[in-house]
Each structure stands twice: as structure tokens, then as C-alpha cells.
Amino acid sequence: MSVPLVIVLLLTLAAEFTNGLTDAPNAIATVVSTRVLPPATAVVMAAVLNIAGVLVTGTAVAATIGTGIISPEVISIYTVGAAVLTVVVWSTVTWRFGIPTSETHELVAGLAGAGLAAAGPSVLLWEGWRKVLIGLGVSTVVGFAGGFLVMVIIHWSVRNLRRSTGNKLFGRLQILSAALMAFSHGSNDGQKFMGAFTLALVLAGVLPQFQVPIWVVLLCGVTMGVGTAFGGWRIIRTMGFRITRLAPVNGFAAETTAGLSILASSSLGIPLSTTHIINTAIMGVGSTQRLSAVRWDVSRQIVLTWLITFPICAALGYAFSWLVKVVFL
């Protein structure tokens, strides 16, 4: 392996680590905040099931990231390096303030910006971007509406149960829904940086074609798990405590909605923001009590971060890619 390739691969792992810091905690935020599982147990569960999600569900999302966002034929490993460096920079900034952000959108925007600097507008591939836009719609509309609907159905189904009985029942069920959320996160988000990692190996000639090796799956999965253990609490606090007050039944509804939506998207190779969908599902669940039950000031801050992620990360990717061309090429 050449020195530039090693640097790009290390940057990709650094981006995967920040994914653990900022995105993987989404899978366990509600189960920790409702005190169904202690943080250490939840982190271990999330790390194991993230890897399982990738191993069991395939690598369709990784292929979308690696071959569907920008044309691999007209870029170099420096383009990939610029994109993943963008993720590291922006994720670290948002993590510092405890704001959940989407590594999905950071990565695709970074790839787009870096690709534009390297080869111009023709580098962008519509098929991959169509899937990104579908994922954006699913993560916002389906997340909120699904969380609201699932919560209404649950309330109607268990309306005759005593509160203590309901809390005990859904406390147990939430372990399953949190496991589903962690597994589905691996099936989608866990694949994205594996796609970038594999793309770099293909561009450098290490791999003859785009096919994610098992060692890449394991390496990236473990790296993400370490990131979650290292600093995931900042995001867990925002997701689980600051958006709305959660009981086990609320956590179960939000996680079930998000987990099933993510698995459906993964099967179609659609890169979906797990941050977006669990956030909007929590908002939808909270809204079934009353609109004021949701802390909309915190939600507005999160939504604002979503909106500025695309232009900022595209600009950073472009700038990093342009700088590499000027200095090294």
C-alpha cells in the first residue's frame, strides 16, 4: 500500500470513529434514557448488533456510496480522502456541542464537493442521488408520521392496562426494539464508510473490483463501536432527555418505527440518516401527548444543523479536494 492510500484509509477509519461518537448512539439513546439498560450494556449491544447488521443484510448501501454518488472512473483516492476528512471535521464540531448530525449527508455532500473539484459536474451520478433524496423523505416524513401512528395504536391497544403493568411490559419490549434499532443501524449506517474504504482500495488498485471484504466490515464495525463507547453520551443526552420526556412505551414506539424503516431502506440500497429518522420518530411519539410535550427549541437546533450540513460539507469537500490538487498534484 502507498503512503497516500494508508493516509486515506486512516482518515476513513477516523470518520467511522466519529460516526460512533455522533451517529451510533442514536440506536441506544432511548433505551438508556428510559433506564431500561445501563449505558455500558447498551454500548456493547449496539457495537455487536451493528456488526451483525452489516454481516447479515449485505452491502447494498456500501455499493451505493462507493459507486453511485460520484463516478469512480474520474476520481482518485485524494477525492475520497477529502470527503472523509470533511466528515471528521464537521462531526467533531457538532459532537462538541452535543448536536446529532447525519454522517450520511456529511459523506455524500463531501463526496459531491470533492468530486466537483476533481472532475466537474459530470462526476455526479443521478441514480445514487435519487436514493439519497428518497432516504431524506423517508427519514423525515415517515419517521414523524410513523412514530405518531405507532404510538396512537399502542395507546389504543393497551388503554386498559395499569401504568405500572404497561411500564414493566414495554421495559422488556424496549430491549428488543433497541436491539432492532442497533441491528438496522449496522445494516445502513454501518455500511457507508465501508463503502468509502473499499472505494479507496479499488482506486488504488488493491482490489480489482468493488466488493467489500469481510476484514473491512469487521475493522470499520469495531472502530465505530469504540467511538460509541468513547463519547456517545453527549448525543444520548440530547436524543434521550432533551427532545421530549420518554417512558419505555415511547422508546419502544420510536425505536420500532425507526428500525423497521431503516431495514426496509437498507434492502433497497438507500442511504438513510438514522439520526434523522430516530429524531423525527421521537418527535412524532412525543406529539401524541400534546405538541408542547416536544421541546421544539431543541428540535429546531437539530433541524437547523441538518439543513446546513449539505452546503457546509459540500464546500469543505470541495476546498479540501482543491487544496490537494494545488499542493500535491
What single letter denotes the amino acid at residue 177? S
Q: 229 is written with which cell numbers?
A: 463507547
pLDDT tens per residue, the chain (329 residues)? 789 999 999 999 999 888 877 766 666 777 777 777 777 787 778 778 877 887 787 788 999 999 999 999 999 999 999 999 999 999 888 777 766 677 888 999 999 999 999 999 999 999 899 999 898 888 888 888 999 999 999 988 887 888 778 778 888 898 898 899 889 988 888 788 999 999 999 999 999 999 999 899 889 888 877 777 675 555 555 554 444 566 788 888 988 999 999 999 998 899 988 878 888 888 888 888 766 556 666 556 666 766 788 899 999 999 999 998 887 66
Per the CB < 8 A criterion, the answer to whether 12 and 79 are in contact is: no
Return phi, psi of residue 204, to 5°: -85, -5
Separation of alpha carbons 200 and 140, rounded Å:
31
Report the C-alpha dihedral over residues 236, 239, 245, 246, rounded to 10 degrees.
Answer: -70
Length of the chain equals 329
DSSP assignment string, 285-304:
HHHTT-GGGB-HHHHHHHHH
Residue recorded with cell 451505493: 64
Separation of alpha carbons 182 and 106, rounded Å:
21
Per the CB < 8 A criterion, the answer to whether 64 and 231 are in contact is: no
> Which residues lie closer than 8 Å to 41 by C-beta, 6 or more apart?
none
Cα angle 246, 94, 217; round to 5: 85
